[in-house]
Amino acid sequence: MERMEQRQGFLSALPVGVLLAAIFVAPLLVVFLFSFMPARVFTLAHMPSFENYRYFVEQGYYLSLFRSLGMAAAATVLLFVVSYPLAYGMAKVFGKFTLVITVGVVVSLFVSENIRLFGWVLTLMKGGMLLGTLKAWTGLELESWLYDVPIIIFGLVYAYFPFMLFPLAQGIAMVPDEVRLAASDLGASRTRIFLEIDLPLAMPGIVVGGLLSFVLAAGAMAESKLLGGQQVIVMADEVETAFTYGQNWPLGSALSVILIAIIGGLAFFALRRIDLDRIMGRKA
């Protein structure tokens, strides 16, 4: 009986599985095959080679990759630090007010990311709203904070805040209050409760939020273009340049494959360490 139900489930999911494979897997397969083509060709009818992967090392593209991963890691850590207090309040303290916060954060996503980042450019540019007002009131003229790594990391934190906040709140909500109260009654300090109860039990939400934030930040490009003024080149910039200005699809494919492989490997490692059934509520 159980095997029959499994077979029915497999057959039911087969059409959707085939559709998802055609939509998501097929384009990735084309990109993967193009990465082994010679430079500046636009068909797959050529002898494969590893020339594009050699360019990745010789032309220093790995520096852009390290820069992207480093900024994504820094943004993820900052997102956790910034989001945790609000996520804890949403999960344990605010009650019905949590819905108001949720709507407020979600509504911000209705505005294009580029428009929101342009708002920060107008705010932080030299002579802009912040520095221009400061100069008019005090005569003090400061250099703009734009076009540097810290402001790009700020942009990543700003843009991907919801993707850390909501999984983190879900993870914190899974921590039983009875366990925390029992630890407190037994004399555990707040720091010890946080390190030995809150963090381990909320780890599924932390991992999911961290993974979402890191993956999106590592592939982000708008922040480096708008806030960084293209003074800081990230891996996504290199991929776009290869596909568009450089008209070198095989090189762009190779750079994409390397980025996807690294991020996919990290995601696979992280997902093996969490219990998705518990997060989805299928297991207590």
Residue range(s) defining the domain that contains residue 85: 59-280
Instruction: Tell me whether residue 205 is in a domain.
Output: yes
For 219, the 3-state DSSP assignment is coil
How far is residue 63's CA from residue 56's CA, in Å, rounded to a whole number?
A: 10
Taking only the tens place, the pLDDT of each residue in 151-203 is 999 999 999 999 999 999 988 998 888 888 888 888 888 888 888 888 888 88
Predicted confidence at residue 20, as pLDDT, reads: 84
- The answer to whether residues 165 and 213 touch, using CB atoms and an 8 Å cutoff, is no
Instruction: Tell me whether residue 26 is in a domain.
Output: no
Q: Which DSSP state fits 160?
A: T
Instruction: Tell me whether residue 28 is in a domain.
Output: no
Helix (H) or strand (E) holding 154: helix 149-159
Instruction: Tell me whether residue 6 is in a domain.
Output: no
Domain CATH for 174: 1.10.3720.10
Instruction: Tell me whether residue 33 is in a domain.
Output: no
Instruction: Tell me whether residue 9 is in a domain.
Output: no
C-alpha pair distances (Å), 90 with each of 36, 98, 126:
49, 5, 37
Taking only the tens place, the pLDDT of each residue in 76-122 is 999 999 999 999 999 988 888 888 888 988 888 888 888 999 999 99
Instruction: Tell me whether residue 148 is in a domain.
Output: yes
- The answer to whether residues 147 and 127 touch, using CB atoms and an 8 Å cutoff, is no
Instruction: Tell me whether residue 51 is in a domain.
Output: no
Domain count, the chain: 1
